[in-house]
Amino acid sequence: MGAAYASFMDTYVGSLSPGKYADFVVLSHDHVIESDAQSVLATYIGGLLVHNTSMVPSMKSSIKQGAKEALYWKAMVLRCVLGAIALAAAAQVCIYRPGNPVPITLQSLAVLALSVVLGSHLGMGAVLLYLLGGACGLPIFAGGSSGHHILLTEKSSGYLWGFLLAAWLAGHASGKDIMGLFWLSAASLTVLAVGGMRLAVIIGWRTAWQVGVAPFLLEALFKALLVKFGQVVYCYICGTSSQ
């Protein structure tokens, strides 16, 4: 009681009395007679059980499980962030052909490669993070451009949106399976299809085909073949048949 009285807390603590906080521990033995053999069985603070020897194993298991889940999600987010950074770097390789509003970049190649490595969901997550970053003002679109208007009004906006669907398709490509080349080719051509449709709304179907689709067909198939070749080589080196 002395310490509680000195700190003006004797109304609430200092003794086990009705109306006061119940702060106490439960010991296994009489601490006066068997002080060396005793252990704490339970701890109460404010009348609430905060520690019990029977709940320790389950608590430890829950803590470990929570830590594993937190680590897993951190790893997933980190992969998406690194993927978005890779896309931003690939976008800076930007070449415009004379009279063509659609630039040549390495973005579609990066989307295919990232989705093969990360899978469909994380690949789409990386693309979405990249698009959000550019729309919010980060200079990560082609040629260092940025702004939400690029995703809404620019002639090349359709190609950027096509990256999302391409990432989902490319993520289905498996290691040495020849069907993987089909998925990669479909993903690469999907970018042209979505981009061409958006371009057609602005400049017409015929012109869109001539400047936004036809000049890039062979390039799109070559990118798919290049990613597939790299994937097969990696699988043979690592001795695995899955992505």
Backbone angles phi, psi at 24, to 5 degrees: -160, 165
149 part of a folded domain: yes
157 part of a folded domain: yes
Tell me the per-residue pLDDT of 49-61, one tens digit each, with 9 for 90 and over: 777 765 555 555 6
One domain for residues 111 and 200: yes
- Mean pLDDT (the chain) is 83
CB atoms within 10 A of CB 124: 24
| Domain boundaries, position 23 | 2-46
One domain for residues 64 and 23: no
One domain for residues 33 and 71: no
- The pLDDT of residue 110: 94
> What total of structural domains would you count in the chain?
2
160 part of a folded domain: yes
User: Is the pLDDT assigned to residue 8 strictly greater than 70?
Assistant: no
One domain for residues 138 and 42: no
One domain for residues 109 and 37: no
Backbone angles phi, psi at 52, to 5 degrees: -150, 135
One domain for residues 115 and 188: yes
42 part of a folded domain: yes
Nearest-CA neighbor of 173 among 238, 226, 130?
Answer: 226
68 part of a folded domain: yes
One domain for residues 184 and 92: yes
163: Cβ contacts below 8 Å, ≥ 6 apart: 87, 107, 108, 111, 127, 130, 131, 191
One domain for residues 80 and 179: yes
Give the least confident one: 63-72, 135-144, 214-223. 63-72
243 part of a folded domain: no
* DSSP code string of 179-208: HHHHHHHHHHHHHHHHHHHHHHHHH-HHHH
Tell me the per-residue pLDDT of 104-124, one tens digit each, with 9 for 90 and over: 889 999 999 999 999 999 999
Mean pLDDT confidence for 25-31:
73
Mean pLDDT confidence for 154-167:
92
pTM: 0.70
- The pLDDT of residue 242: 47
171 part of a folded domain: yes
58 touches 33 (CB < 8 A):
no
One domain for residues 149 and 177: yes
One domain for residues 95 and 37: no
55 part of a folded domain: no
- The pLDDT of residue 88: 94
- The pLDDT of residue 65: 72
One domain for residues 84 and 110: yes
Mean pLDDT confidence for 64-92:
88
H runs (alpha helix) in the chain: 2-6, 56-91, 107-118, 120-135, 149-152, 157-170, 179-203, 205-208, 217-238
One domain for residues 17 and 117: no
- What CATH number is attached to the domain comprising 134? 1.10.1760.20
- The pLDDT of residue 116: 92
Band (218; pLDDT cuts 50, 70, 90): very high
Tell me the per-residue pLDDT of 34-48, one tens digit each, with 9 for 90 and over: 666 667 777 877 777
Tokens 């070449």 map to which residue?
95
Tell me the per-residue pLDDT of 186-206, one tens digit each, with 9 for 90 and over: 999 999 999 999 999 998 999
